[in-house]
Structure 1
Amino acid sequence: MSSVEILVPDLPESVADATVVTWHKKTGDDIHRDEILVEIETDKVILEVPAPESGILEIFAKEGAIVLSKQLLGRVSLIDDINVSKKITKNQKIISEISKCSEHKNEDLLSPSSRRLIAEYNLSKEDIKKIGIIGKLTREDIEKYLNNKDLVCKSEFLEQNTESTKSLLQSKEQRVVMTRLRKRISERMLEAKNTTAMLTTFNEVNMLPIKELRSKYGEMFEKRHGVRLGFMSFYVKAVIEALKRYPEVNASIDCDDIVYHNYFDISIAVSTSRGLVTPVLRKADSFSFVDIEKKIKELSIKARDSKLNIDDLNGGNFTITNGGIFGSLMSTPIINPPQSAILGMHSIKDRPMVVNNRIEILPMMYLALSYDHCLIDGRESVGFLIVIKEMIEDPIRLLLDV
C-alpha cells in the first residue's frame, strides 16, 4: 500500500523549532484530503497542518514533541473506497474464533450486514458473546447493543467529568505547561530589560477633540465604510508623524551601527487567550483612516482565532499598546526588541484641568513612551510625545500635515 508523508511546514529563519500541540485524529483513523490533522505551535503562531491525501493516519510525532522544519509528523496510507471491506478482513480472525466457541461451527451463519457492523465498530469476542449466540445474531441485535454501549460510555464519561471537576475545584493548585508563545514572551521581555537602558517618559493628552469628531462623524463613517471609527487610527497617524520628525525613535541598534528605517511598519499589541502578539501594519504611512481601521480589525480577528501567520508578525519598527481597553490608567510598557521604543495608551478619564485660568472637566489620557536610552535621548523622547499630543489634541493637523 502506498503512502504519503506528513511534514512540518517550512519554519522561518527566526523560528528554530515548534511544538506539536494537538492531533485532531488518532492513529488508524480514516482521514480526508485537506482535513486539518494537527496544530503545531511556534514562538509566534499556531500552524495548522492539513492532510495531504485521503487515507489511514499513522502518527509519529506525539503531542508535546519538539519538531523541526520538514520533520516527519506522520504518514497517510492511501486507500480506496472499500475501507470497510478491509476492516472486515482484519476482523475475520475474531469472528472465526467466536464461531469455534459457539454451538454453530459455520461462520457463514453471520449475515453480511452483521459482519459489516462488527468490522466497523471493531467489536471484540467478549462484545459479541454479550450480544448472544453467533448463529442467531441479527443486525438489529448488534445495533441495540451498540446503542446501549454508547449510553453507558456517555454516562461513565459524565461521572468521570463531574468527579474531575469537583477535584479541580477542591484543589488549591493547578499546574499547566507554559505555552511556547508565553515562554517566548518571557524571554523577549527579559531580553529587553537586560540589554537596553530602558527609560519611560510620560505626558497627558486631552481627548475631547477626537471624541467630538467620533461623535459627529462616527455613524456616517461606519455606514460608508463598514467599519467603526476607533481611536487607534488617530494614534497610528499621530505616531507616524512623530516618527518622521524624530527618526531616532524609528531606528534600531545593530552591533556598533545605528540603523535608520525609512519606512513605517507599526506593530499593534493584541491580547489573546494564548498571550500578547504584535501583528504589523506594513507601510502604515500609506494608509488612510479607513485602511487602518479595517486592517486592525482584520488582524485582531486573526489573532483571536489563532490564524495569524509568520508574515503578519515579522518585522515592525515601533509598537503601540493600548492598555486602556482593560482599564489601565498608567503603565511603563516594555520595549519589543529589536525596536527601540514603544508607546503605551491608557484609559480616558474625566479630570479637572486648568484651561485659560479656569477649571474644566476634560477627558484626559496618559501617554507613556518607553525607549532605549542608548539610542534615544531625553530631548527626542519628550519631543516625540509632544508631537503626538499636539496631533491628537488638534487632529486637523493630521490632514494638513502641519
Structure 2
Amino acid sequence: MSTEVRVPTLGESVTEATVATWFKKPGDSVAVDEMLCELETDKVTVEVPSPAAGTLGDIVAAEGETVGVDALLATISEGGEASTEKAAPAKEEVKSSEATDDKISGQIEVKVPSLGESVTEATVGSWFKKVGDSVAADEVIAELETDKVSVEVPAPQAGVIASILVGEGETVGAGGTLALLSGDAAGARTVAADDSADATPPAASSAGKDVEHAPSAKKLMAEKGLTPDQVQGTGRDGRIMKEDVQNAKAPAAAASAASIVTAAPAPAATPRAPVPADDAAREERVKMTRLRQTIARRLKEAQNTAAMLTTYNEVDMSAVMALRKQYKDEFEKKHGVRLGFMSFFTKACVHALREVPEVNAEIDGTDVVYKNFVHMGVAAGTPTGLVVPVIRDADQMSFAAIEKAISEKGKRARDGKLSMAEMQGGTFTISNGGVYGSLMSSPILNPPQSGILGMHKIQDRPVVVNGEIVIRPMMYLALSYDHRIVDGKGAVTFLVRVKEALEDPQRLLMDL
C-alpha cells in the first residue's frame, strides 16, 4: 500500500511553490510527520511532513521544479520496519524503536492545532501538565507561541500524559506531535522511564555537512553578483533562502556605503559589554517570546523600509466629551456597550481618509495600491506584547458597531484568543498611548500601511479662545506616515480634518 505526498495549502492568494530541498531520497525510511522536503513561495517557506511511516518511493517533483497546490510530490510505501522507526540516536536505535511501538499502541497523539495562515511552526511556551498527570477531555495541557498569537493545546480525550515529546522552548512544526496520551495510568508509568531519551531529540549538526541552498536563492545571488559567503542564511542548517538574498546588500552597494560612512556595528550585532560579577549575579536572563521577537523585527523593518515622518496637532476634546456625557447612558442602555472615545476617532479617521486616500494606501513595488475600504487596526497592549486586531469595513459601521467590535477584540487580545485572521489586512492603524498616560509620542508604522494615528492623554491646558485664555481638555495627536507615498500637505490635511471632526462632531453627520 502506498501513500501520496502532496503540496499542502500555501496560504491566501498563493497558488504555486518551488521545491527547494529534499531531506530524503528514494528508499529512505521515514517516520510519521518527519520532514520530507521544503517548498518556497513568494511569501513563506513551507515544510512538508510525511503523512505516514514507511519507505520513500518515487520523487515526482525534483528540486527546483514549480508545483501547484495539491500537486503530487512523492509516494511512500507503507509497512516494514520503517513504520515503527522514529529518528533517534544510533546508540539507542533498538530501544527507541521498541519504545515507539509501546507508545503508539493504544495511545493517542496530541497534535499541534491549526496555527493560522502562513504559520508553519511554533515554540512550546508552557506545559501545564507533566508525565503521569491525569487530564480531562478538552483540558488545556500546553500553550504554544507563534510569531503573532499564543495557541492553547487541549487534550483530545481524557487520560494520562504518557510522554512529552517536545519540551518547553523547543520548536515544533504545524501538525507535529507534542505528546502521547494514554487511557490508563499503568501504561503511562511504563513509558515514563524512557521519556528522557524520547522527549529530547538529538540536535541536528551541520558541521562538515554540505548545505544545498534554495534554487531561487542561487538564481538571485547570480543576478546580484553575490556569493554564499556574503549572505546570511536563515533556512534549515544555514540554508540560504530567496528572502535572505533580497535582504543582502550587493558588493558594490556595500562598498559604496562603506566609503561614505564608517559606522559602528548595529546594536543587534554588537556583543554585550562585560558585566561585573556582582551585577551579573543579580541579573535575570529571559529568552524573548516569538511574539516579542516579531514585534522587534517588524518595527525595525518599518524604520529601515519606510521614509517615516510624523506631524503633530492638538484637539480640543470638549465637544466629544460633552456629547459622550449627554448620551452615554442611553447609548449603553440601547446598544449594550459603553460609548468610548475610540468610535469618535475611528469615524473621524474614516472621514479624513476619504479626502486623503493615499494615507489609506500602500506601496507594492513601483505601484501604489489605493484601498476603497477601511480596515481599521486598533493597537492593543497585552501581557505578552503589542497586537493590532483589525476592525474590517469600519467605514461601513455605526458608532455602536465600532464600539462593540473594539470591546470584543480588545478582550480577546488580552485573553490571548485572537486568531491570525483577526490581525491581518489592516489599512490604517490607531494607537492610544493616552491610556497609559503618554502626553506625546511618535508612533511607528505598521507595514505595509502608510499611516498610523497616535492618540494621547487628555489634559486640561490653558488655550486662547476668542481672545480669552480658558482651560480646555486638550489632546496631542500624532500622525506618522510614509513620506514615499504621502506628501506633507496630505498628512497635515488629514490631521486637520481629524481635528475638525472631533472639535465639531456634527461635521461627521453633515459629511463636511
TM range, smaller chain: 0.7 to 0.9
The 2-side partners of 1:68 and 1:87 are apart by 25
The 2-side partners of 1:289 and 1:299 are apart by 15
Give the match for residue 73 of structure 1.
Answer: 178
The 2-side partners of 1:11 and 1:190 are apart by 25
Give the match for residue 215 of structure 1.
Answer: 325
| 2:132–2:189 Cα contact (<8 Å) kept | no
The 2-side partners of 1:89 and 1:251 are apart by 60
* Alpha-carbon displacement from aligned partner over 1:60-98 (angstroms, at most 9, x marks no partner): 01111111211221222345xxx57x79999xxxxxxxx
Gaps of 5+ in 1: 91-169
Give the match for residue 321 of structure 1.
Answer: 431
Instruction: Note closer, same or farther for the CA distance 1:375–1:16 as it changes in structure 2 (3 Å cut).
Output: farther
Give the match for residue 373 of structure 1.
Answer: 483
**Structure 2 counterpart SS, 1:175:** coil
Instruction: Note closer, same or farther for the CA distance 1:66–1:88 as it changes in structure 2 (3 Å cut).
Output: closer
Shift of residue 309, structure 1, vs aligned partner? 1.5
The 1-side partners of 2:300 and 2:189 are apart by 59
Give the match for residue 132 of structure 2.
Answer: 28
Do structure 1's residue 265 and structure 2's residue 367 form an aligned pair? no
Give the match for residue 114 of structure 2.
Answer: 10
Shift of residue 375, structure 1, vs aligned partner? 0.7
**Structure 2 counterpart SS, 1:315:** coil
2:337 to 217, 222, 227: 227
The 1-side partners of 2:183 and 2:284 are apart by 43
The 2-side partners of 1:28 and 1:257 are apart by 58
Give the match for residue 342 of structure 1.
Answer: 452
**Structure 1 counterpart SS, 2:320:** helix
The 2-side partners of 1:33 and 1:174 are apart by 37
Instruction: Note closer, same or farther for the CA distance 1:89–1:376 as it changes in structure 2 (3 Å cut).
Output: closer
User: RCO greater where, 1 or 2, for CA within 8 Å and sep 6 or more?
Assistant: 1
The 2-side partners of 1:11 and 1:176 are apart by 24
* Alpha-carbon displacement from aligned partner over 1:319-340 (angstroms, at most 9, x marks no partner): 1001111111111000011111
Instruction: Note closer, same or farther for the CA distance 1:236–1:88 as it changes in structure 2 (3 Å cut).
Output: closer
Shift of residue 349, structure 1, vs aligned partner? 1.3
State how 1:71-110 maps to structure 2 within 5 Å. 71-79=176-184, 83=185
Shift of residue 54, structure 1, vs aligned partner? 2.5
2:410 to 291, 295, 300: 300
| 2:115–2:151 Cα contact (<8 Å) kept | no
The 1-side partners of 2:323 and 2:473 are apart by 14
* Alpha-carbon displacement from aligned partner over 1:11-70 (angstroms, at most 9, x marks no partner): 334434211011111123232221112110111110011112223322101111111211
* Alpha-carbon displacement from aligned partner over 1:138-190 (angstroms, at most 9, x marks no partner): xxxxxxxxxxxxxxxxxxxxxxxxxxxxxxxx963222221111111110110
* Higher Rg of the two aligned structures: 1
Shift of residue 4, structure 1, vs aligned partner? 2.4
The 1-side partners of 2:281 and 2:142 are apart by 31
TM-score by length of 1: 0.76
The 1-side partners of 2:409 and 2:304 are apart by 30
The 1-side partners of 2:313 and 2:157 are apart by 58
The 2-side partners of 1:375 and 1:88 are apart by 64
The 1-side partners of 2:135 and 2:319 are apart by 57
The 1-side partners of 2:106 and 2:487 are apart by 65
State how 1:35-74 maps to structure 2 within 5 Å. 35-57=139-161, 58-74=163-179
The 2-side partners of 1:88 and 1:216 are apart by 66
Paired residues in the alignment total 320
| Aligned amino acid, residue 38 of structure 1 | A
The 2-side partners of 1:344 and 1:223 are apart by 30
Gaps of 5+ in 2: 1-104, 192-279
The 1-side partners of 2:343 and 2:190 are apart by 65
| 2:160–2:188 Cα contact (<8 Å) kept | no
**Structure 1 counterpart SS, 2:324:** helix
| Aligned amino acid, residue 160 of structure 2 | I
Residues 51-60 or 290-299, more deviating: 51-60
Do structure 1's residue 198 and structure 2's residue 303 form an aligned pair? no
**Structure 2 counterpart SS, 1:384:** helix
| Aligned amino acid, residue 279 of structure 1 | P
More helix per residue: 1
The 2-side partners of 1:247 and 1:392 are apart by 19
| Aligned amino acid, residue 141 of structure 2 | L
The 1-side partners of 2:167 and 2:476 are apart by 48
The 2-side partners of 1:14 and 1:361 are apart by 52
Shift of residue 2, structure 1, vs aligned partner? 1.9
The 2-side partners of 1:232 and 1:256 are apart by 34
Instruction: Note closer, same or farther for the CA distance 1:30–1:195 as it changes in structure 2 (3 Å cut).
Output: same
| 2:116–2:421 Cα contact (<8 Å) kept | no
Shift of residue 310, structure 1, vs aligned partner? 1.2
1:178 to 288, 304, 309: 288
The 1-side partners of 2:474 and 2:188 are apart by 70
Q: CA RMSD in A?
A: 2.1
